[in-house]
Structure 1
C-alpha cells in the first residue's frame, strides 16, 4: 500500500538585517498602514448593500507588498476573511503566470477559487494592483461573503449536498473584471444573469472594488510622503518584529508532541457509516521556536458533501488565529502588528485527500463549522501546557440561508446563531458569541424584519446548559425565526452530536439542536446540516446553540457566583445544589449547609447526578 501524499504549508524565516529606518518612523508608518485599511473597511461596510457585510462585517481588507506578503489588515474584519488574503494573491499570480498574463495599472481581478487560496466559493476577493511610477509595488485587496453566486439552491451557506466544486456556483479564477480601467462588460452581464439577487450581490462587488481602490490610492500617498524605500524597509522590519515576538512565545513552551481528537457531526443517517463519524486529529510538535500542527489521521474527504476544508484558506487560518489568540492575547501582551511575519514560525501538515486537505474538485462551500472544530481541537491539544490561556470546549455555530420569491425576484438572507466559549482560568465562558475564527456580528432583529418576510419570535440565552465548572461554560442562544411567506432554508452547523469538552475537572457543555416547528404546532427535529428544506407561512425554525464546557472543579466555584447566576436566571436552583453543591438560605448562601453538601458530593464522585447532556461524547486528548 503506497504512502499517502502529505502537503506542508510553511514559510521561510525572515532574513536577519539591520533596518535603515528608525523605530519611531517605523511605528508611524505602521499606524498609517492601519489607518489606510481602517478607512477601506469603513468605506466597504458603509457602501455595501447586504446585511452580511453592512451589519455582520463578514469582509476583509488588507494591503500586500509586491511579493504578496500582507503588511497590514483591517481590524474590523473577520479573521476568516483576512487570513486567506495572501493566499488569494498567490493563487491569482499562479493562474496569471500559467496563462501568460500580467498586471497593468487600472486592472481589477475577481477571484474565489477554493483550490487557489480562497476560503470558500462565496468569499470573493477583488484585487487592485498598486503601481507607483510605473512599478508594481503591492496589492489592495478586499474580500467579502456574497449571499448568492448561482449555486444549485438559493443562498451561499447550507449547501451541503454538492456533487463537486462546480455545483457550488460560479467559479472565478483570476478573472479581470477591469482591464486598464475599462470594465469587462461581458463578465458583469454574466454575473447579473446567473445570480439570484443580482442587484444586491453586484452592488456589494462594486463596493468592494471602490473600497480597494481607496486603499491603493492611500498606499501610493504614503509612498509619496515617506519614499518607497523607507516604507518598504519599515514593512520588512514590522514583519520581522512580529515573527520574533511569536517565536519568543513558542520557545517558552516545553518541547514535545501534544495531541487531541475532535469530531464533526457528520451525517448520522447516511448509508455510509464512515460519514457518521468524522474525526479531526491534531498533533502539535514544538521544537525550539517552531511549532508544527499535523492533521494526519483526520477523516478522508467526504464525497458529494461540501464540508471539506481547503488546507490553504480555511485550515491554515484556523491554526494561525488560534495560536495567535493563545500566545499573543492582547489582554496580557502588547499589541503585535498583524502581518505575514506571524505565519513564519508555524508549519501546517495534512494528508492530501483528507477532509482537512481535499483534492479538486471536492466541494468545500460548507467548510466553516469543520474549520471551527480544527481550531477547538488545536486548543484542546495545547491545554496541558497552556491551561492558563485556553478555554474549555467551544460551542459551534449554525448558519442558515433563508430565501424565497417576491414575484420573479429572489430575496436571500443569511442568519447566524451564535455559539459560546468554554470557561477559562478565572473567567466564565463568553455567552452568545460568534466563536473562534469567525468573529462576525449578529444582525439586528429590526434589520431582518424590515427587509425580509421573516419574524424573529424568540432570541434569548440558553440558560442552565453551560458546562459546570469553577468557571462555568458560556451560554449559547435559542433563536426562533418564523416564515411570513413560503420560502426555503439551507442549514450548516455543528455541535448537535458532540458536547464541548470540559477542562481540568469541569463538566462537558451541552450539544445543540434544530427544531422545525410546523404551523400546526408539531415539532420535527432536524440534523445540523441540510439543504433545500421548504417552509410555508407560519412555519418556524428553532436553533439551539451548543453551550461551552466548564473549567475546573464545579465544587470549587465561589458560592456567591453561583447565587449571582441563580438570581440572574442563568442557573436553576436544582443545578446550584446538585452540580455546584450550593445550599441557599433565602436569597443568600447557607455556609454550613454548602460545606456539608460539597463534602457529600465529593465523596460520591464526579459522575453523581450529572445532567443528561454532561455525559455526551466530546473530543479526547492525549
Structure 2
C-alpha cells in the first residue's frame, strides 16, 4: 500500500534511497539508449548529450551520469525557457506533445545544443518533464558545422532558432516542421536521425517516470525528492560554511580574436569575485569585458555561465573522493547566487551571437577556481589548458558530410597529484573520438596523435600536458576552429610554473613549414593533401618545483615530459649519463637555487 503521509515519508530514508535509485536508473537508461541510437560520432562516441527528469516546479531530479555537465546541467533552464515562451503565447502542454528548443536567451546552452522536451502526464495532470539535449553537427548556419562558427555577426547568422516549437502536438507529428529541418540543415539524414533518437530517449524517460509514480504514488515521490533536494542543499551549505567569510577576487583572459584590428575583440578580461557569507556564496562577474556585438564568443548567463560556476563549486567543495556519490539535483545550486551586469560578455543582450561560447565558459570556471585558491588551496588545480573544437566538412556528390572533433586540453597540478594529461576539462567532460572511427567515416587521415614532449610545467606537482594532432584532407573540404589558450599561459599556483600555450598550423603542398593561425579560425577551404596540426595547451604547475621528489623528476625525464636540461633548470635535479639521480649534487644545487 502506498503511504501518502508526506511527513512520514520524509523520515523514511529507505524509501528515499529506493526512489533515488529508480530515478537515477531512468536517466542512465535514457543516456545509454540515446548514445546507441544516434548517428553522429559527437553523440555516439564523444557523449556530447544530456538526459534528465525535471519536476513540475522546474527542479532537476536526476541526470545521466555519463554525459557532459554542459548538456545535462542546463536542462532546468531549457524547461524554464520553454514554459516562459509558451505562457507568453498563451499555449499549454498536452499529452503527446514534444517540444523542440535551442534558444540561448531562453535557457539553452547555445544553438547547436537542441533540446527535446516531453511533458509527463499522470492521470491527466502534468507532473514533470523528460528532456534530452545533444550537440548537432549542423544547424543551418551561414557556414558548415555548428562549432567553429566564430564570425557570426548576430544570433540570426548562427543557424535555425527554435523557441519552444511543438514538433509533435497531441501525438500528431508536425510534418511541415520536419520538412523545414531537412530543407535547411546540411547532412540532414544524420542530424534529423539524431533528433529522432533524442525524442525516443525522452519518451523512454517519460514512460519510466510514470511507472515509478504509479508504483509509489505521486505524493510519495514528491516527498522523497523534496528530501533529496534538502539533503543536497545541506551538503553544499555545510561545505560553504567551512570557508571563511569574505571576498576573493581573480582575473583571467580570453584570447578573443588575436588577428583582429579591433582592440575590443581580443585580450578579453574575466573578473570573478567570490563572496562568502555563512552558508551562502555569491559569484559576481562585475568588471568583466563588455559583450562583443558582432562576434559569437559571448556567453549566455543561463545555460553556460551558470553551469560553469555550479560545476566548479560542486567539484571543488564537494570532491567525490571525500564525499562519494550524492544526489545530483537542483538542491545543490540553492546556496549559490550569480551576478553579471546585462551587456557583459558573461550576460549578453539579444541578438548578440553566442554559438562559440564553449572555450569562453572554460575561462569562467578556470578563473573561479583561481579565486577559490585563496581559501581552499588544497582543493583546486593550477591553471587549465583550454580546448579546441574543430569542424571539418565537405561534399560527397550533392550531399554534405560534417565532422566535429574536440581537441582535448589538460589540467594543472593539484595538491598531491600531477595534472591530468590530454583530457577534456572542467564543464566539457566529453570523450575523444577514436582514430578508427574518424578514418572509417570521413575523408580524413590522422597522421599524428601524440603527447607533447618536454612541456610539463614545473611544480611540486607538475602540470598536465596537451596533445598534438595532425589531420590530412583526403578530398577538397573546409575547416573551422573554435579554440583558446594561444596567448595567455595557464597560471601556476603556489610557486608552480606557468603552463604552455597551444597552437594551430595549416600546411599545403607549397608550404611545408605551414602557416600559423590564431585560436579562432572562420570557415576556410582546404585542398586534397592539405593538413591541419593542432597543439593543445599544457596546464600550470602546483607548488615549489624544488620540493618535487627527485625520483619523480627522473621519471618525468624518462617518460618525455621534460628533458634533462629542464630537470636541472626548473627542479635542480642532476641526472647522470646512466639515467640516475645524483642526490648529493641535487641537494647542493637545490640549496643554491633556494637562496
Matched, 1:499 2:503: no
Report the counterpart of residue 70 of structure 2 in structure 1: 80
In 1, the alpha carbon distance for the partners of 2:47 and 2:370 equals 28
Matched, 1:193 2:190: no
Report the counterpart of residue 538 of structure 1 in structure 2: 529
Find the partner of 1:574 among 544, 547, 565.
565
The C-alpha deviation readout for 1:356-375, integer Å capped at 9, x for no partner, is 00000010000000100000
Give matches, 1:35-54, under 5 Å: 35-54=25-44
Find the partner of 1:266 among 256, 263, 271.
256
Find the partner of 2:594 among 576, 593, 602.
602
C-alpha contact (below 8 Å) 1:113/1:172 kept by paired residues: yes
Find the partner of 1:331 among 309, 321, 325.
321
Give matches, 1:114-193, under 5 Å: 114-193=104-183
Give matches, 1:432-511, under 5 Å: 432-511=422-501
In 2, the alpha carbon distance for the partners of 1:40 and 1:380 equals 36
Give unmatched runs, 5+ long, in structure 1.
1-15, 604-622
1:466 CA drift (Å): 2.1
1:565 CA drift (Å): 1.2
- Judged with a 3 Å threshold, the aligned counterparts in structure 2 of structure 1 residues 17 and 355 are, in CA distance, closer, same or farther, namely farther
In 1, the alpha carbon distance for the partners of 2:524 and 2:182 equals 26
1:307 CA drift (Å): 0.1
1:522 CA drift (Å): 3.3
1:271 CA drift (Å): 2.2
The C-alpha deviation readout for 1:126-155, integer Å capped at 9, x for no partner, is 000110011101100000000001000000
- Judged with a 3 Å threshold, the aligned counterparts in structure 2 of structure 1 residues 318 and 18 are, in CA distance, closer, same or farther, namely farther
- Comparing 466-475 with 327-336, greater Cα deviation is found at 327-336
Matched, 1:250 2:240: yes
Matched, 1:548 2:548: no
In 2, the alpha carbon distance for the partners of 1:519 and 1:255 equals 60
Find the partner of 1:593 among 582, 585, 591.
585
The C-alpha deviation readout for 1:93-146, integer Å capped at 9, x for no partner, is 000001110100010000000000000000000000110011101100000000
- Comparing 592-601 with 104-113, greater Cα deviation is found at 592-601
Report the counterpart of residue 620 of structure 1 in structure 2: none
1:506 CA drift (Å): 0.3
SS of match in other structure, 1:326: helix
In 2, the alpha carbon distance for the partners of 1:172 and 1:261 equals 35
C-alpha contact (below 8 Å) 1:21/1:233 kept by paired residues: no
In 1, the alpha carbon distance for the partners of 2:267 and 2:324 equals 41
Give unmatched runs, 5+ long, in structure 2.
1-5
In 1, the alpha carbon distance for the partners of 2:8 and 2:561 equals 56
SS of match in other structure, 2:210: helix
Give matches, 1:238-317, under 5 Å: 238-317=228-307
In 2, the alpha carbon distance for the partners of 1:275 and 1:416 equals 24
In 1, the alpha carbon distance for the partners of 2:476 and 2:497 equals 42
Report the counterpart of residue 518 of structure 2 in structure 1: 527
Give matches, 1:356-367, under 5 Å: 356-367=346-357
1:239 CA drift (Å): 0.6
In 1, the alpha carbon distance for the partners of 2:319 and 2:513 equals 47
Report the counterpart of residue 3 of structure 2 in structure 1: none
SS of match in other structure, 1:158: coil
Alignment root-mean-square deviation, CA: 1.1
C-alpha contact (below 8 Å) 2:264/2:292 kept by paired residues: no
Find the partner of 1:563 among 554, 568, 573.
554
TM-score, length of structure 2 as denominator length: 0.98
C-alpha contact (below 8 Å) 2:117/2:130 kept by paired residues: yes
1:384 CA drift (Å): 1.3
Find the partner of 1:583 among 551, 574, 583.
574
